[in-house]
């Protein structure tokens, strides 16, 4: 009887840990769009420095999302996402400065069409919740209704990054279902795998918001969850899953984009 009680207690405890304290690890796979270029971002940067052409890069955006509201009815469950300004994928971009780190006391006028494109590029994906980020660069023009100027930053290029999707979108539901089943019956000893969608839009502007180039990265990410893993995405429970892609899902996007951007800048005369 004592032995049975101990086994049952162990089982209950293991299930409790699995459901209430499961560590999550975002697996970083290799990714490159230019396999013939073996140089790193640092290599390209050093080449630009040697030529005295290293640019001043200002980073704009680079945030993920959070669930702001959930609504449940008998027929459906609805969630609403908004930009999470506490996240910072710009930390993966080595040779640039995030817009918050620069102080800009002066403003400069810009072409209305260029300004319109900049605003539409960002709000078309982030919607109204992207307004806070835009206010870091746009300033109402004095004495002119519905006119804006931009802050004068010490930058050659302004890089806009927009991450998607807003929510977890699993691309391989079968893997998650099978590993989820074995993960539960083994009480977290066998890892649970999730493969989900991640994409990033980059738009490059000059310091006057003149459009320069666009880049698009689409690379799924894998999250591994188990009791015994050392997490790089924190602890998460069965009942409080974040529901949105984590910052680390976009790390490989940012690193590869920086490498490609600096490589293209080295080609300019």
- pLDDT tens, N- to C-terminus, the chain (269 residues): 333 334 444 444 444 444 445 555 565 555 666 767 788 999 999 999 999 999 999 999 999 999 877 666 666 667 788 999 999 999 999 999 999 999 888 999 999 999 999 999 999 999 999 999 999 999 998 877 788 999 999 999 999 999 999 988 877 767 667 776 666 777 667 777 778 889 999 999 999 999 999 999 988 887 777 766 665 554 444 444 557 888 888 999 999 999 999 999 999 87
Question: Residue 180 — φ and ψ, nearest 5°?
Answer: -65, -40
Query: Tokens 């699993």 sit at which residue?
Result: 170
For 42, other C-beta atoms within 10 Å of its C-beta total 13
Residue 59: which H helix or E strand, with range?
strand 57-61
Helix (H, G, I), strand (E, B) or coil at 102: coil
Count how many Cα atoms sit within 13 Å of the Cα of residue 163 in the half-sphere of its side chain. Answer: 35
């Amino acid at each position: 009887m004592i032995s049975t009680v101990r086994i049952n207690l162990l089982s209950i405890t293991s299930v409790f840990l699995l459901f209430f304290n499961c560590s999550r690890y975002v697996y970083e796979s290799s990714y490159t769009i230019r396999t013939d270029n073996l140089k790193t971002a640092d290599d390209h940067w050093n080449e630009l420095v040697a030529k005295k052409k290293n640019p001043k890069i200002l980073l704009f955006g680079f945030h993920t999302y959070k669930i702001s509201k959930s609504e449940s009815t008998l027929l459906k469950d609805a969630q609403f996402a908004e930009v999470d300004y506490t996240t910072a994928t710009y930390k993966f971009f080595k040779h640039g400065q995030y817009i918050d780190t620069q102080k800009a006391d002066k403003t400069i006028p810009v072409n209305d069409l260029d300004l319109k494109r900049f605003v539409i590029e960002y709000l078309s994906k982030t919607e109204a919740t992207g307004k806070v980020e835009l206010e870091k660069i746009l300033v109402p023009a004095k004495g002119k209704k519905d006119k804006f100027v931009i802050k004068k930053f010490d930058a050659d290029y302004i890089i806009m990054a927009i991450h998607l999707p807003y929510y977890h979108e699993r691309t391989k539901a079968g893997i998650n279902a099978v590993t989820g089943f074995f993960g539960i019956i083994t009480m977290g000893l066998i890892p649970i795998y999730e493969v989900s969608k991640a994409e990033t839009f980059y738009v490059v502007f000059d310091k006057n918001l003149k459009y320069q180039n666009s880049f698009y990265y689409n690379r799924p990410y894998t999250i591994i969850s188990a009791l015994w893993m050392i997490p790089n995405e924190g602890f998460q429970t069965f009942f409080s899953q974040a529901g949105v892609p984590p910052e680390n899902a976009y790390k490989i996007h940012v690193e590869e984009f920086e490498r490609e951007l600096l490589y293209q800048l080295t080609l300019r005369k």
